[in-house]
Amino acid sequence: MRFLIIVNGILERATVYLLATEGSLIVQRAGLLNLGIEGFFAIAALVAYAVAVYSGNIVLAFIAAAVSALAFNMIFTVLTVHLRLNHIVSGLAVSMLGLGLSYSLGVSLVGIPLPSSISMPIVNVLGLELDPMILMSIIVAVLLWYLLYRTKLGYQIRIVGENPHVADRLGVPIDKVRYIATAIEGVLVGLGAAYYSLVVIPEWSTGVTLGKGWLAIALAMFSLWHPIYAIGGSYLIACSDSLARVLPLLGVPVSPYLLYALPYVLTIAALSIVSYVEIKKKRLGIPTALAKVYSREERARKYT
Amino acid sequence: MSPVKIVVKRREKLSRKVKALYTAVAILVSFLIAAPIVAALGINPILFYKYLIVGSFAPYSIPLTIINLIPVALCCISAIVSFRAGLWNIGQDGQYIMGAVFLLWIASLIPNVPPPLSYVLVVILGGIAGGAWCLICGVLRAYTEANEAVTTLMMLYIASSILNYLCYGPWRSSIGFPETFPLPQNYQLPNIGPITSAIIALAVLTFLAWLILDRTRLGLEMSILAEGTRVIDYIGLRYRRLICIVMFLSGFYAGAAGSLYLSYAAKFLEPGFIAYYGFSGIIAAWLCELKVEYSILASLLLAALYSSSYTMQATLNIPSYMIDALEGLLLICILLVHFFTRYRVEIRFISSSSKSSRK
């Protein structure tokens, strides 16, 4: 029984990571390094929780979270795509605004439990009782793979991330493609954040989402920017995450505080290996133009 | 085609005065946008503005502002050092923690170092630990090209896990609270009157940073590095080594911020030791346009926000995260200034006749 609870915990956390990672992955593929994800993850988690508490409708909560994340992410998109500002600093600004807003406005929700009407329906797949979101996150991964590698839009997203100047010559509407990518990111991260605050945690406290958004960025890199590999990456990190809670329960003398660092250590190690393999001329998925500001008129200035 | 066409053009360099004016307007605008958010929390915005000023620049608040100024200004310089070289060290808070942790560890091993020397040790030990923590990301960036913005952020979470581990685990000395033993007396920087003597360390370190960045060969090489590693290669410089030096130096300042803060203000470590001065430092760095000579002025504004947030928490019961939102708004407004001082936006109305002629 205890084993099932642990497995369920891993599945739930992996779902959050997977949705957020898929979101981050698609904008990175379009050449945007969106550090603002931390901010709108927090915003969406709060909106989902607030809507759930006041309306008692779980579907409404998920929709509200996706819409709010989408809207909030547009700040980043305007700053980087139209105003050609630095991705990292713009992302940090959006993050700070999002974290600040969600934790100061969310103070009134601390300690308020979710109404009993908020629970996920259960579907029976091959004798296993699963949450539909767990299945949906995997379907999303497959759909994104199809989108990236089998459709025109996916091709456009990849070439914009690879070399926006070439994309421009080919007539790809760069700004529009980047908008679509950030919109997809907003919706996916919003759903992941809602699932996190409504199902995984399910309570609201200050600082509850800290680090989750930024971990998704690293996870996308860890997964070689490939939607299918992201499934493996998310489940691996979710497993290491659950070690921190499970090992002390089993009486293993390891400090949980050190185990909390494990996902981050793994991510740094993997990111380094992946980047190293990439510079040894093995083609992986790294978007070459990641975090580079694109400005049509200033070609000579940006590429040396 | 829509009848309105927006054209963005690069503009001529603006004078320093105009830029300063734009920046001042941006700061004011960000404070004005905060009003409805404060009102949403059920607090009178007028009171909010009152405490914003009283809480930071009233005579009795100034020492508190100075206490916050030192770590913000040092993190600001840390950000300037790495941003100037086109490297994105954004994990100042992690280096800040490691600086303090390392100082506390070494100081507990050799608690009897006589004062003037121990004060120097505070800066150096903290700086070395912060520098080493950042150097890990520097080495990874130089030799494997792992994105340093992401790795420094990840290292921040690892550092905060270490801090929590030490506070709840081996270094815990109080039963009630997760607090460590205090820093030995010899390492605690004294106050000069109401103001901490760490301000001298800040002045010296700021001057050194200015010297390195604006008056040495290393500073010049750093600005070339920002143009891309290929340029450095053409000139014949070893860019990998340069990346490592820059990251160490950047981490050094953030680490020194942590050890100094431990030495003059915190005295012992606790999970709340991480106060996110690093992110404020990044905003300050952007506010002063990566110029060391203005860094203290820019940091003063952020430090004032910190100290007024304490007052507001106590008097108006405003959550401390409100200040983060305000800082985020401030940074967005500064970024907008950067756009509008670099580019000119023209709105052209396309008349229907020209529209038809195009067809």
Q: What is the mean pLDDT of chain B?
A: 88
In a domain, B42, yes or no: no
In a domain, B181, yes or no: yes
Burial (0-12, 13-18, 19+ Cβ within 10 Å), B340: middle
In a domain, B87, yes or no: yes
Beta bridge partners of A129: A124
Question: B-chain residues within 8 Å CB-CB of A39?
Answer: 328
Residue of chain A with shortest Cα separation from B34: A101
Query: What mean pLDDT comes out for the span B84-91?
Result: 92
Please tell me the least confidently modeled range out of A178-187, A190-199, A247-256, B65-74.
A247-256
C-alpha closest to that of B245 among B148, B138, B128? B138
Residue of chain B with shortest Cα separation from A82: B8
* Residues comprising chain A, all counted: 304
Question: A-chain residues within 8 Å CB-CB of B318?
Answer: 104
What pLDDT is stored for residue B312 in this prediction? 85
Domains contained in chain A, CATH given: 2-293 (1.10.3470.10)
Touching A: B residues 203-262, CB under 8 Å: 227-228, 230-231
In this predicted structure, the answer to whether residue B356 has a pLDDT above a threshold of 50 is no
Query: What mean pLDDT comes out for the span B99-114?
Result: 93
B35-78 pLDDT, tens digit per residue, is 888 888 888 888 888 888 888 888 888 888 999 999 999 999 99
Question: B-chain residues within 8 Å CB-CB of A86?
Answer: 335
What's the CA gap between B4 and B9, in Å, rounded?
16
Residue of chain A with shortest Cα separation from B146: A272
Q: How confident is the model at residue A231 (pLDDT cuts 50, 70, 90)?
A: very high
Q: What is the mean pLDDT of chain A?
A: 87
Residue of chain A with shortest Cα separation from B340: A83
In a domain, B307, yes or no: no
Question: Are the CB atoms for B322 and B312 separated by under 8 Å?
Answer: yes
What's the CA gap between B252 and B235, in Å, rounded?
27
Q: How confident is the model at residue B355 (pLDDT cuts 50, 70, 90)?
A: very low
In this predicted structure, the answer to whether residue A127 has a pLDDT above a threshold of 70 is no
Are A258 and B162 inside 8 Å of each other by CB?
yes
Taking the Cβ of residue B151 and every Cβ of chain A, the question of whether any pair is shorter than 8 Å is answered with yes
Strand A123-125 to B343-349 pairing: unpaired
Mutate to test the interface with A, among B6, B37, B154 (most CBs of A within 10 A): B154
Please tell me the least confidently modeled range out of A70-74, B69-73, B250-254, B341-345.
B341-345
Q: How confident is the model at residue A297 (pLDDT cuts 50, 70, 90)?
A: low
Burial (0-12, 13-18, 19+ Cβ within 10 Å), B216: exposed
In a domain, B184, yes or no: yes
Distance from CA of B114 to the nearest CA of A (A): 35
What's the CA gap between A30 and A185, in Å, rounded?
11
Query: B115 versus B141: which is more confidently predicted?
Result: B141
Could you give the angle at the alpha carbon of B131 between the alpha carbons of B128 and B137, nearest 5°?
A: 150
How far separated are the first and last CA of chain A, in Å rounded? Answer: 60
**Structural domain boundaries enclosing B79:** 62-288
Taking the Cβ of residue A88 and every Cβ of chain B, the question of whether any pair is shorter than 8 Å is answered with yes
And the tokens for B48? Answer: 């909010």
Question: B-chain residues within 8 Å CB-CB of A101?
Answer: 37, 325, 328
In this predicted structure, the answer to whether residue B358 has a pLDDT above a threshold of 80 is no
Query: What mean pLDDT comes out for the span B83-96?
Result: 93
Distance from CA of A163 to the nearest CA of B (A): 17
Beta bridge partners of B348: B5
Are B158 and A304 inside 8 Å of each other by CB?
no
What pLDDT is stored for residue B212 in this prediction? 94
What pLDDT is stored for residue A1 in this prediction? 63
What's the CA gap between A47 and A105, in Å, rounded?
10
In this predicted structure, the answer to whether residue B12 has a pLDDT above a threshold of 80 is no
In this predicted structure, the answer to whether residue B203 has a pLDDT above a threshold of 90 is yes
In this predicted structure, the answer to whether residue B260 has a pLDDT above a threshold of 60 is yes
What's the CA gap between A10 and A8, in Å, rounded?
5
Q: What percent of chain B has pLDDT over 90?
A: 49
What pLDDT is stored for residue A255 in this prediction? 78
Coil, helix or strand at residue A172:
coil
Q: How far is CA A289 from CA A35, A229, A304, B44, B240, in A?
A: 16, 21, 13, 46, 21
In a domain, B327, yes or no: no
Question: Are the CB atoms for B305 and B327 separated by under 8 Å?
Answer: yes
And the tokens for B218? Answer: 């290393």
Residue ranges of E strands in A32-151: 123-125, 128-130
A59-76 pLDDT, tens digit per residue, is 999 999 999 999 999 999
Work out how many CB contacts closer than 8 A connect A with B: 164
In a domain, B329, yes or no: no
What is the number of domains present in chain B? 1
In a domain, B35, yes or no: no
Question: Are the CB atoms for A236 and A85 separated by under 8 Å?
Answer: no
Q: Closest partner residue to A93 among B228, B328, B343, by Cβ? A: B328
Taking the Cβ of residue B162 and every Cβ of chain A, the question of whether any pair is shorter than 8 Å is answered with yes
Touching B: A residues 202-231, CB under 8 Å: 206, 211, 214-215, 217-218, 221
Question: Are the CB atoms for A149 and A1 separated by under 8 Å?
Answer: no
A24-57 pLDDT, tens digit per residue, is 999 999 999 999 999 999 999 999 999 999 998 8
In DSSP notation, A117-128 reads T-----EEETTE
Are A103 and B286 inside 8 Å of each other by CB?
no
Question: Are the CB atoms for A241 and A219 separated by under 8 Å?
Answer: no
Q: Could you count the other beta carbons within 10 Å of the beta carbon of residue B303?
A: 26
Distance from CA of B51 to the nearest CA of A (A): 17
Give the DSSP H/E element, type plus range, for residue B192. strand B191-192
Residue of chain A with shortest Cα separation from B79: A89
Question: Are the CB atoms for A66 and A44 separated by under 8 Å?
Answer: yes
Are A268 and B230 inside 8 Å of each other by CB?
no
Give the DSSP H/E element, type plus range, for residue B9. strand B4-10
Query: What mean pLDDT comes out for the span A83-111?
Result: 91
And the tokens for B32? Answer: 């004005």
Are A304 and B231 inside 8 Å of each other by CB?
yes
Q: Which residues of B118-147 are buried (b: 16+ CB within 10 A; e: fewer)?
A: bbebbbebbbbbbbbbbbbbbbbbbebbbb
Three-state SS letters, B286-349 = HHCCCCHHHHHHHHHHHHHHHHHHHHHHHHCCCCCHHHHHHHHHHHHHHHHHHHHHHEEEEEEE
Q: B37-46, B169-178, B257-266, B269-278: which has the highest mean pLDDT?
A: B257-266
In this predicted structure, the answer to whether residue A300 has a pLDDT above a threshold of 50 is no
And the tokens for B115? Answer: 């004062």
Are B147 and A221 inside 8 Å of each other by CB?
yes
The dihedral through the CA atoms of B242, B246, B251, B252 has a sign that is: positive
Q: Could you count the other beta carbons within 10 Å of the beta carbon of residue B339?
A: 15
Residue B180 is classified by DSSP as B
